[in-house]
Amino acid sequence: MHGVEDQSGGGNVEEPTEISSPKEAADNALVLAFGRLQGAANRLEYILGRPRRLPGTRPGPGPGTRR
């Protein structure tokens, strides 16, 4: 498979391919980049002291509010 030259000068961008094994995912540059971005976002949340929410849940009342 041929890479396509990225217009931003960042190197070759591969055509989208199906990932069929954990080994392929571990070797895929886009998967690794996404994981690094997700990790950086999680660290930023931790530094800022924001509580993590599960998807599909609503935030509870803020501090100092009564129910």
For residue range 14-37, list pLDDT tens digits in order. 666 799 999 999 999 999 999 999
- Give the range of the structural domain holding residue 31, as residue numbers without chain letter: 22-51
Residue 59 CB partners (closer than 8 Å, separation 6+) = 53
- Which residues, in sequence order, are bridge partners of residue 13? 4
Q: Report if residue 27 sits inside a domain.
A: yes
3 within a domain of the structure (yes/no): no
Residue 12 has pLDDT above 70, yes or no: no
Note whether residue 43 is domain-resident: yes
Structural domain count of the chain = 1
Which of 5-9, 38-42, 48-52, 54-58 has maximum average pLDDT?
Answer: 38-42
Which tokens in the block code for residue 58?
A: 């609503």
The answer to whether residue 1 scores a pLDDT higher than 80 is: no
Is 17 part of a structural domain of the chain? no
Q: Which residue has the higher pLDDT, 16 or 5?
A: 16
